[in-house]
Amino acid sequence: MTTVLDILSTTLAALLREDPRRLLLGEDCRDGGMLGLSRAALDDPELEGRVLGTPLTPASAVAHAGGLALAGRRPIIALPSAAALLEGLAALRELARGGQLAAGHGEHATGDVLLLAPTGYGFGLGGDHAASFESTLALAGARVIALGDTSEAAALLRAAADLDAHSGPVVLLLPRSLLLETVDPDALYESLPRELHAARPVRGGADAVATVFCWGDTVARAIAAAERTGFDVAVVDVASLAPLDTPALIRAARETGKLVIAHSGAPRHGVAAELAALFADEAILYLDAPIVRVAGARELRYPAEADACPSVHAIADAITRVVTY
Amino acid sequence: MPFLTCAQPQVIDGGPTRDSLTPLGPVDTTASPRREGVSPCLGHPRVTGEVPHAMEATPWDPDDVELRLDADGRLTDEAEPAAGQREHSTNASSLDLRALYKAMVRARCLDLALARLGLPMWAPSAGEEAVTVACGTLAAPEEWIFPGSRDIAVSLTRGADLDDLFVQLLGLRRAGPPGTAGAPDRRVAQVPETLGLHLPLAAGHAHAEKLAGSRRATVALLGEGLCSTGYYREALSLAVACDLPLVLVCKSQVWPDGAPMEAGVFGDGVSVRARSMGLWSRRVDGADPIAVAQAVERALTRARQGHGPALVEAVVTQMLHKDAPAHRDPIERLRRHLDHTGVWTATFQDVIEAEIRGHISRAQERAQERAQERGHELGELEGGRDA
C-alpha cells in the first residue's frame, strides 16, 4: 500500500522522463516540495535540471509558466494550495484566452501549463486553508479538473499533463482529504478510462430514483449518503468542472428527474449554481422535484474544518427530500 | 543658455523647420516655429551656431545618468575623455547611428499617426524612441522582446508588417490593449491586457532560454509606474533567484518638479533599487540614444554570456510636455550629432519621413477600408452580442 501523494510523485517523475519539454516548478520543489510531489523526480539524476525551485511569487507564477510554455516548454507547477491561484487569476485568465497571447506564436501556445492545486479540507488547517475555489478558477476560463477517486490519481494526472491533447491552462484540483489516503498500487488505473472533460458515472443504474452530482472530496460522501438512504440513487462525479460535460450531465439529470448537487465550499455563485441552471434549461420537463444543493459553510472559521464540506447526513437528507417530494 | 532652456524651439540661423503634425510638404523655411502645434520633435530647428559644452542642466535633465551625447549632440568622450568611463564607452562608432536615427524618426512618425486615430486609452510615446528602437535593434532577430503598452515602435523597428500592425491597432483582429500590436513572426510578444503581466511572462521565457542553453537574452520593456506592482517585484525575484538572461529596460519619466509618489520612482530610483535586489543595472539619459544603446547592448551581452539579469533605466522626457526643451528629445539630440558629423541633411530627413509616412498612410487606409467593410467604425459602439 502507498499514499496518493507517493503515486502522484512517482507519476510526475515518469511524466518528466517521458517528455523532455516538461518541467516541475514550485517553491521548495528542490526539497521535495510542500507535499513531497517532486521527491521521486529528485531521486532521478537525469531529471536534475528540470525540477526547478522558484521563489514564492503568487501573482507571477502562472505567467512565469506561461512564458516557459511560449518558448516550447511544458511546465507543471506544484502549488502549495489552490488559494495560491487567487493572486494569479489575472494571468490564468489571460492564458485561458490563449488565442490572444499565444496568437501566432508559432507551434507553441502560452496557455499550455498544468497547475497542481491541493484544495479543501484534510490537513487539519481549517479556516480559508480548507476553502474550495473551483468556481473562481472556472470563471477565469481555465480547464478545472477535480480528482474524485484515488484509484484514478495517476491516470488523471497523466491525462491532465497531456497538454498536446487540449489547449489552455489546466488546473488539477487535488482534494487534501484524498491525498493522504492509501491505495493499492495494483488497483490503480494506468490510463484514464474516459476523456479528460468527461463526467464519471460512479453508481446507480436504470432504476435509480434520484441523482447526486458531486466532485472532489464530496464523491465519497455522496456514495455513503446514497447507501445510507436505502434508495437506488445514482451518483455522478462531475470531474471536469470547466468545461462541463454538458451532454452527459443533462442525460443523467433526465434519467431520474430528482437531483441533488453536493460539493465542498460555499453554496452560492458556483459550479453548483451553473449546473442547476443547466438542468433548468435542458431538463425542465424531466424534473420531478426542486434541484437541491448541499454545500459547505459560507464562511470558514478556524479550526472548524469540518464545515468546509457537507456531511453524509446532510446529503442523505437532501436525497430523501427529493425522492419523497 | 537661451536655446537650451527655452520653452519653445527657436530658430537659430533660420535653419529648416518642419511641422510634423502637418502632412509632408515642401519645407517652409520662413514659417515661424512658434506657431501652435509645432512638434517638439522633427520640427526642431537646425542648430548651426556654436553652443558651448559646459551647459547648465535644465530642470528637465536627470541626475546621475550615463551620458554619451551632450545636449548639443557632441560625444562627451571627445570633449572630456574621463578615464573611468573609457572601458565601456568605446562603441559609439560601432553603432550604425544613421540607421538608429532613421528608425527613431520612423517610430515618431508612427506615434504621430496614431495620435490622430483617437484610439481609446491610447497614450503617446514620443520622447521614448531611444529606448524602443535600441531594444528593437539590438536584440538579435531570434531573441524575444516583451513590450509594454506604449512600445509599438518595437514591432515597427523589428520590421513588422505595417498592414498587420494597423489591422491590430484598429481592432480588426483582437490583440492587446489599444495602441499595441504584437509581431510574433518578429519575436515581439503581444502585450497582455493585464498591466505588467508581460514581466513574469518574459521571465518565464528567459527561463526557457536558459534551460535550453541558447545563449539568448529575453527583453522586456516597462515604464517606471510598474515598479510598484507585484508583477515587477516578482519578475525581479524570479530573474535573480533563477539567474535568468532577462534584460529589463525601464523608461523612467522625468518631472521637472519632482516625480509624484504614485509614479513609482521612490527612493533612490529604479536602477539603484534593482541593483540592491541583485541585478546589474545602469541608469542612462533616455534623451541620449547612444548612451541608451550602449547600456542595452551591455545588458544583452551579459545576459547572453550567462551573467544573469540586468535592468537599464533610461530617464526619458515625454514630448507631450510642450515646454520640454528641445535637447530632451532623443531624435533631436541625435540629429544634432549627425549634423555635426555631416551625416544629417534636410534631404535625408525628408526622404526618411516621406517614405515612412507613405507606408503608414497606405496601411492605415487599407485597414480602415476593411473596418468599414465590417460595418463598425472605430469609436462606435458595437451592438450587443446576438444570442
As a whole number of angstroms, the distance between CA A176 and CA B225 comes to 40
Q: Which of A177-191, A241-255, A277-291, B50-64 has the lowest mean pLDDT?
A: B50-64
Domain B94-340 belongs in CATH node 3.30.950.10: no
Q: What angle do CA B349, B350, B353 make, to 5 degrees?
A: 85
Q: How far is A239 from chain B (nearest CA, A)?
A: 29
pLDDT surpasses 70 at A105: no
Domain boundaries, chain A: 2-187, 200-323
Domain A200-323 belongs in CATH node 3.60.15.10: no
E strand or H helix at A64? helix A61-70
- Whether B250 and B270 have beta carbons less than 8 Å apart is answered as yes
User: Rounded mean pLDDT of A59-87?
Assistant: 92
Q: One fold for both A2-187 and A200-323? A: yes
- Enumerate the residues of chain A whose CB falls inside 8 A of the CB of residue B187: none
Q: What angle do CA A155, A158, A163 make, to 5 degrees?
A: 145
Q: Which of A129, A133, A110, A103 is nearest to A62 (CA)?
A: A110
Cβ neighbours for A135, distance < 8 A, ≥ 6 positions apart: A241, A265, A269, A270, A271, A274
pLDDT surpasses 90 at A163: no
Pick the residue of A57, A93, A97 with the most B CBs within 10 A to test the interface with B by mutation.
A57
Pick the residue of B158, B161, B201 with the most A CBs within 10 A to test the interface with A by mutation.
B201
> Across the interface, do A70 and B189 touch by the CB < 8 Å criterion?
yes
More confident call, B227 vs A163: B227
- Whether B327 and B71 have beta carbons less than 8 Å apart is answered as yes
Task: Report the residue of chain A nearest B190, measured CA to CA.
Answer: A101
Report the DSSP beta bridge partners of residue B183. Answer: B188
User: Rounded mean pLDDT of A145-158?
Assistant: 97
Task: Report the residue of chain B nearest A100, measured CA to CA.
Answer: B175
Task: Report the share of chain A in percent with pLDDT over 90.
Answer: 74
User: Could you tell me if B179 lies within 8 Å of chain A, comparing CB atoms?
Assistant: no
Q: Which of A237, A248, A266, A254 is nearest to A291 (CA)?
A: A254
Task: Report the residue of chain A nearest B183, measured CA to CA.
Answer: A104
Task: Report the residue of chain B nearest A87, measured CA to CA.
Answer: B230
> Across the interface, do A104 and B203 touch by the CB < 8 Å criterion?
no
Pick the residue of A101, A105, A112 with the most B CBs within 10 A to test the interface with B by mutation.
A101
Q: Which residue is associated with the grid cell 489547449?
A: A167
Q: How far is A274 from chain B (nearest CA, A)?
A: 18
| Cβ neighbour number for residue B367 with a 10 Å cutoff | 22
User: Could you tell me if B201 lies within 8 Å of chain A, comparing CB atoms?
Assistant: yes
Pick the residue of B205, B216, B240, B246 with the most A CBs within 10 A to test the interface with A by mutation.
B205
Residue B50 has a pLDDT of 47
Q: Across chain A, what does the average pLDDT equal?
A: 92
User: Could you tell me if B174 lies within 8 Å of chain A, comparing CB atoms?
Assistant: yes
Query: How many residues belong to chain B?
Result: 387
Q: Which of A63, A100, A106 is facing B200, going by the closest CB pair?
A: A63
Q: Which of A316, A213, A310 is nearest to A255 (CA)?
A: A213
User: Rounded mean pLDDT of A297-316?
Assistant: 88
As a whole number of angstroms, the distance between CA B18 and CA B233 comes to 43
Give residue A264's region: left, alpha or beta (phi > 0; psi -120 to 50). Answer: beta
Residue A209 φ then ψ, to 5°: -105, -10
User: Could you tell me if B189 lies within 8 Å of chain A, comparing CB atoms?
Assistant: yes
| Cβ neighbour number for residue A297 with a 10 Å cutoff | 18
Residue A198: pLDDT band with limits 50, 70, 90: very high
Rg value, chain A, Cα: 19
- CA atoms lying within 13 Å on the CB side of residue B86: 6
User: Is the ipTM above a cut-off of 0.85?
Assistant: yes
- Enumerate the residues of chain B whose CB falls inside 8 A of the CB of residue A22: none
Give residue A170's region: left, alpha or beta (phi > 0; psi -120 to 50). Answer: beta
> Across the interface, do B182 and A103 touch by the CB < 8 Å criterion?
yes
Low-confidence ranges of chain B (pLDDT < 70): 1-56, 78-93, 174-175, 261-267, 375-387
pLDDT surpasses 50 at A173: yes
pLDDT surpasses 70 at A175: yes
| Cβ neighbour number for residue A5 with a 10 Å cutoff | 20
pLDDT surpasses 60 at A286: yes
Residue A121 φ then ψ, to 5°: -80, 170
Domain boundaries, chain B: 94-340
As a whole number of angstroms, the distance between CA A160 and CA A155 comes to 9
Name residue B131's amino acid.
V
Name residue B184's amino acid.
P
- Enumerate the residues of chain B whose CB falls inside 8 A of the CB of residue A101: 189-190, 192, 201
Interfacial B residues in 248-307 facing A (CB < 8 Å): none
Residue B196 has a pLDDT of 94
E strand or H helix at A203? strand A200-203
Residue B30 has a pLDDT of 39
Strands A200-203 and A233-237: antiparallel
Q: How far is B387 from chain A (nearest CA, A)?
A: 15
As a whole number of angstroms, the distance between CA B175 and CA B161 comes to 15
Cis peptide before A243 (omega within 30 of 0): yes
> Across the interface, do B204 and A54 touch by the CB < 8 Å criterion?
no
Q: Which of B164, B88, B74, B145 is nearest to B359 (CA)?
A: B164
Domain A2-187 belongs in CATH node 3.40.50.970: yes
User: Could you tell me if B215 lies within 8 Å of chain A, comparing CB atoms?
Assistant: no
Residue B174 has a pLDDT of 65
User: Could you tell me if B175 lies within 8 Å of chain A, comparing CB atoms?
Assistant: yes
Looking at chain B, list the stretches that DSSP marks H as alpha helix, in order from N- to C-terminal side: 2-5, 76-79, 83-86, 97-115, 129-138, 152-157, 162-169, 198-212, 230-241, 270-276, 289-304, 330-340, 346-373
- Enumerate the residues of chain B whose CB falls inside 8 A of the CB of residue A72: 208
Q: Which of A53, A59, A68 is facing B234, going by the closest CB pair?
A: A59
Q: Which of B185, B204, B209 is facing A64, going by the closest CB pair?
A: B204
Distance of CA A220 to the CA centre of its chain: 14
Pick the residue of A60, A108, A113 with the most B CBs within 10 A to test the interface with B by mutation.
A60
Residue A112 has a pLDDT of 86
Pick the residue of B197, B215, B243 with the most A CBs within 10 A to test the interface with A by mutation.
B197
Residue A291 has a pLDDT of 98
Distance of CA B334 to the CA centre of its chain: 13
The x, y and z cell numbers of residue B142, run together, are 531570434
> Across the interface, do A63 and B197 touch by the CB < 8 Å criterion?
yes
Summarised one tens digit per residue, pLDDT across range A176-185 is 999 999 999 8
- Enumerate the residues of chain B whose CB falls inside 8 A of the CB of residue A106: 184
The x, y and z cell numbers of residue B198, run together, are 508581460
Q: How far is B133 from chain A (nearest CA, A)?
A: 22
- CA atoms lying within 13 Å on the CB side of residue A251: 13
Residue A200 has a pLDDT of 97
As a whole number of angstroms, the distance between CA A236 and CA B277 comes to 52
| Cβ neighbour number for residue A228 with a 10 Å cutoff | 16
- Enumerate the residues of chain A whose CB falls inside 8 A of the CB of residue B193: 94, 100
Q: How far is B240 from chain A (nearest CA, A)?
A: 10
Strands A292-294 and A240-242: unpaired
- Whether B158 and B201 have beta carbons less than 8 Å apart is answered as no
Q: How far is A58 from chain B (nearest CA, A)?
A: 8
User: Could you tell me if B232 lies within 8 Å of chain A, comparing CB atoms?
Assistant: no
